[in-house]
Amino acid sequence: MMRTARSLLCFALLPLFAGCQMLPMFNPQPQVPSMAGLTRMQGELSAADGKLLFKPCTEDRRYAVSDGGGTSVLQEAATLAEKQGKLFADLRGKFSASGSSDGQLDLRQLYRVERSAGACGDPNFQRLILRAGSKNPAWNVDVSAKGMMIERAGQPTLALPYLEEQLGDGRFNLTSEANHQRVELWVAPQRCVDPVTGSVQHLSAELRVDGQVQRGCGYFGGSRND
């Protein structure tokens, strides 16, 4: 039954996917979009009657998605359609609805799309400024107002203060020197795909600890409004 449902989702997205497959995957010179009047939400993506629908984590209403921001969300959803689990999306756009009918979502920013059963219940999301990491090799960095927490396979967890430096074009780095270690996290606004999970995120990230480099993807948490 699950295989049939995934196949139906992929089939339902095909007409949409066919019409946008020639779009560029990302702008090589990122422009910072205006967030005025836009709302960030997390929820589930599904397909019905040739439309891509978004249902927020906290609502029963569904919103028909139009990709006004050129985010390539249709391509991302079609790519993940055959993977197991619910199709989760973290996005920003203009929501409109009336009465009890389905609403409309003018999508402007896509932060991440992934297969996940528990992303709606992430207890740490609202306090996070940034999360970055990779599955192979396994590493994760959670950044909040209290500092950054660094986890790496086979290494002790590091909890460090940090300084942020803006580098232009949406790029920035976080640095820390403590416990006789130099830690750098370099972040850029570029579509990034985790090769293990297929998760698509809006930032690429590079972690450097005493010169050792590990690359991965990232996304802004709920406490960063851009």
Q: How many domains does the chain have?
A: 2
Q: Say what the pLDDT of residue 76 is.
A: 85
Same domain, 22 and 48: yes
**What is the residue range of 48's domain?**
2-32+39-120
Least confident of 73-82, 110-119, 179-188: 73-82
Mean pLDDT for 175-202 is 92
**Rounded to two decimals, what is the model's pTM?**
0.80
Q: Is 73 helix (H, G, I), strand (E, B) or coil?
A: helix
Same domain, 7 and 114: yes
- Helix, strand, coil % over all residues of the chain, rounded to 5: 15, 50, 40
| Structure tokens belonging to residue 92 | 């920003």
Same domain, 95 and 140: no
Inside any domain, residue 210: yes
Inside any domain, residue 94: yes
* Residues 76, 107 contacting (CB under 8 angstroms): no
Over the stretch 7-51, which tens digit does the pLDDT of each residue have? 434 434 444 434 433 333 334 444 555 667 899 999 999 888 888
Inside any domain, residue 226: no
Q: How far apart are CA 217 and CA 200, in angstroms?
A: 8
Of 75, 104, 120, which marks where a domain is finished? Answer: 120
- Whether residue 123 is predicted with pLDDT greater than 80 in this model: the reply is yes
Least confident of 83-87, 117-121, 155-159: 83-87
Q: How far apart are CA 66 and CA 112, in angstroms?
A: 17
